[in-house]
Structure 1
């Protein structure tokens, strides 16, 4: 049975509230130390507003995408609260923190093309959001070279996600080009 629009809306609001509780003590690495919850909310907004994504599973997974990786949340907890499909999408976009950072980055590039469409959408929105943040308000300790390296790595990840949402891919390309120009011109 298909969930009703009311059920889908309730699930999205529940996920936003859940993510806000889980990320409540976390801050972003930008100069303002923005509340972390701004990031998952940005993903949902990018998907809906710029990618015309209305699939509640994708929007819920976007809101929850960092809970397992960055908080004391388990995939089992997500499955109980939001179902196995959402938990599966979150699992696809969750890095294994037991691996070294460079290996996690390599695996994101290597596995991008084999992800489900839902996971590709979440990952694409994540890269758009991250590039915007790094272009406009990067972590204080990041040099221009590190910012450019992140942009290029994100481009490599997104190359494996292409074909899932042309509108979001155009947004990524625009954010990538404008962000690199801004970083290089400030250097």
Structure 2
């Protein structure tokens, strides 16, 4: 059997099996050769890198006591970092504002962070995108889900990118870490709802949409 298997969350990333070369140091990183100049990835400017790292530090602090709803109790910070990973490694999005907003996208919805605080620390554009990605927790869950479908098309391009990456991360995660208490019907309804949201923002990023559609076709 092949010594490597694909990670469900990041299909392009091979991961070693747990019993393969335990204790061995990881091989040195080697950047893949580009087939053309169009494939060359330009580095994020220093200021942009600082913004992304600041966002990661802030999100890690605000989500530090939170866990995902799966049976493993996965640290919640894995999710926003995973969304940013999908944007960079699959959608080739390197805009620092988009990445910072992706990392921060659940801080207002799921912690005591405010939009004013995000605006003060990260600027108005990041704050606006985070606001677009934030559900109003004072509303019933079914109303919030309906509003996501109804409002997604009116959101900014950068917010739409985050919506796509967020949904992709979540449905991949669902295939390996089912939230506690979810039965088959609820899982299927979640896939259908995600597809409805994605249908409102098609044309945003072909790569992410194809990855989502592949899963929708299998699960819906």
Task: Please indicate the TM-score interval, normalised by the length of the shorter structure.
Answer: over 0.9
Counterpart Cα distance in 2 of 1:172 and 1:141:
24
**Unaligned stretches of 5+ in structure 1?**
182-187
Give deviations 1:110-151, integer Å, cap 9, x for gaps: 111111100100111110011011121111210011000000
Question: In 2, are the aligned partners of 1:131 and 1:176 still within 8 Å (CA)?
Answer: no
Q: TM-score, normalised by structure 1?
A: 0.92
Q: CA deviation at 1:23?
A: 0.0
**Which of the pair is proportionally richer in helix?**
1
Q: Normalized against structure 2, the TM-score is what?
A: 0.78
1:60 aligns with 2:100: yes
Aligned pairs for 1:72-91 (under 5 A) are 72-91=112-131
* 1:1-187 matches, cutoff 5 A: 5-178=45-218, 180=219
Q: Which runs of 5+ in 2 are unaligned?
A: 1-43
Aligned length, in residue pairs: 177
Q: Which has the higher contact order (CA 8 A, sep 6+)?
A: 1
| Distance (Å, rounded) in 2 between the aligned partners of 1:82 and 1:99 | 27
State which structure, 1 or 2, has the greater radius of gyration over its C-alpha atoms: 2
Shift of 1:175: 2.8
Once residues 210 and 92 of structure 2 are traced to their aligned partners in structure 1, the CA distance between those partners, rounded to angstroms, is 13
